[in-house]
């Protein structure tokens, strides 16, 4: 087998919101495990290109693709770019998502709730739709895996902080279970990783930059998690080692 033929056989993983935090950690690990990695980003071009450079310097294969993963035209353009670059897709990691400022429900604006659901729920739905079209054996694909990134907030509710965020992640849990049953016969496994408090900069965007430290006392393992610990779970669920797992929810939250 030539080097080019070997490259064409390497699986391809698409990670939405892949330029930072859990997405970036997943990209690094997946590249180390032999995936060709597509790092989707919205606005952080420098971070995405730096990540690609790091992966390539370590002998991996990666490409950064700018697209709004919450807009249908952006998602379609993203998947078409994957088709052009690699001609195949084996794993979708629905990782892109947002949190917002701490707020009670009676203070929420319509615009905030609509934005939360569009980015955290509608985007992953449409990304999964496009992935299924490419992976499903019904459509001539060779199967694959989808890993959705949820949150411990989905079952804890987010009261007095961000019920809208928690509700969006609850929707992802239900979506994952239904989709897993729908596409199992098509060779596609769908699973969910539900992180607890993880040391990334998403907390600052929600107005709680010190949350990893302040939450430690309420976490049975006594600390916040690291992005790499979530990446380990994502890459495992995507791999053949998890070949009999579909519709599963893997809590990686320190025991909360």
Closest CA to 138 of 100, 184, 103, 97: 184
Closest CA to 170 of 190, 150, 189: 150
CA angle 84, 48, 226 (to 5 degrees): 120
Closest CA to 188 of 232, 129, 230, 231: 129
d(CA 80, CA 94): 17
The two tokens of residue 248 are 């599963």
Task: Determine contact, residues 192/148, Cβ cutoff 8 Å.
Answer: yes
Closest CA to 38 of 57, 58, 23: 23
The two tokens of residue 219 are 């976490």
Residue 165 is a catalytic residue: yes
**In the chain, how long is the greatest CA-to-CA distance?**
62
The two tokens of residue 164 are 């809208």
Task: Determine contact, residues 51/40, Cβ cutoff 8 Å.
Answer: no
Sole residue written with tokens 């993203």:
78
Per the residue annotation, which of 35, 41, 162, 165 is the catalytic one?
165
Closest CA to 14 of 155, 135, 187: 135
Residues involved in catalysis = 165
């Amino acid at each position: 087998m030539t080097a080019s033929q070997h490259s064409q056989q390497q699986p391809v993983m698409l990670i939405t919101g892949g330029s930072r935090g859990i997405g970036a950690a997943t990209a690094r690990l997946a590249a180390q495990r032999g995936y060709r990695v597509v790092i989707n980003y919205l606005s952080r071009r420098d971070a995405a290109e730096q990540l690609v450079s790091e992966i390539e310097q370590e002998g991996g294969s990666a490409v950064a693709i700018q697209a709004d993963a919450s807009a249908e035209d952006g998602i379609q353009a993203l998947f078409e770019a994957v088709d052009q670059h690699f001609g195949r897709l084996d794993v979708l990691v629905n990782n892109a998502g947002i949190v917002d400022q701490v707020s009670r429900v009676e203070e929420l604006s319509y615009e905030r709730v609509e934005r939360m659901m569009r980015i955290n729920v509608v985007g992953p739905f449409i990304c999964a739709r496009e992935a299924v079209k490419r992976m499903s054996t019904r459509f001539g694909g060779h199967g694959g895996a989808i890993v959705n990134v949820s949150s411990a907030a989905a079952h804890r509710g987010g009261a007095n902080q961000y019920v809208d965020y928690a509700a969006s992640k609850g929707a992802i849990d239900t979506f994952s279970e239904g989709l897993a049953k729908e596409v199992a016969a098509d060779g596609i496994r769908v699973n969910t990783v539900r992180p607890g408090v993880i040391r990334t900069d998403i907390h600052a965007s929600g107005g709680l930059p010190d949350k990893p430290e302040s939450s430690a006392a309420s976490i049975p393992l006594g600390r916040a998690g690291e992005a790499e610990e979530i990446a380990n779970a994502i890459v495992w669920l995507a791999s053949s080692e998890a070949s009999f797992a579909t519709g599963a929810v893997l809590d990686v939250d320190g025991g909360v």
